[in-house]
Structures are given as C-alpha cells and as structure tokens.
C-alpha cells in the first residue's frame, strides 16, 4: 500500500467532536484542501457564556462567506 502524506496544522485535546454526550478525545486538524469534504466543523472554546457567543460567531462566519450554511450549532 502506498503511503499518503499530509500536513497537520494543529493538534488539540478534549474535543467533543462526536457530541456533547461523548467523552472528549484528542483531535487533529488538516488543511481542508488536502481532504476536500462537503462538511466542516468549527469548535470554539471561550470563558464567555456559550449561548451568548452563538450570534457573534454566526455573524463572523457570514462576513467570511454569506452563502455558507450554518447548521447543528450545539452548546454544552
């Protein structure tokens, strides 16, 4: 089997990627251009109240790409 190389741009711990009811696991991030996908996940950690950040994050994402759909927003 031929090895496949990739660039890893970040390694993090304690991400509840599969859902808030699952134990957190270490996670890694790669440039989306190396693994094109129809989905992307944005994880935000903050000392602020999670509910109050939702609208600010949506606004920031719309500034980057107004046509980008935003779905499945979850807070702990």
Q: Which band of pLDDT confidence, cut at 50, 70 and 90, is reported for residue 69?
A: confident
Q: What's the pLDDT score for residue 73?
A: 84
Task: Based on the fold, state whether residues 27 and 53 are members of the same structural domain.
Answer: no
Q: Report the alpha-carbon distance of residue 76 to residue 24 in Å, rounded.
A: 12
> Are residues 30 and 48 part of one domain?
no
Are residue 31 and residue 48 in the same domain, yes or no?
A: no
Shared-domain flag, residues 75 and 57: yes
pLDDT digits (tens, 9 = 90+) for 20-49: 788 888 877 777 777 777 777 787 888 888
Q: Which domain holds residue 24?
A: 1-35
What total number of domains does the chain contain? 2
Contact criterion met (CB below 8 Å) for 61 and 70: yes
């Amino acid at each position: 089997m031929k090895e496949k190389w990739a660039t890893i741009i970040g390694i993090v711990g304690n991400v509840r990627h599969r859902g808030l009811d699952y134990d957190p696991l270490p996670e890694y991030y790669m440039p989306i251009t190396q693994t094109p996908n129809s989905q992307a996940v944005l994880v935000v950690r903050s000392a602020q109240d999670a509910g109050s950040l939702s609208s600010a994050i949506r606004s920031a994402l719309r500034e980057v790409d107004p046509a980008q759909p935003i779905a499945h927003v979850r807070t702990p």
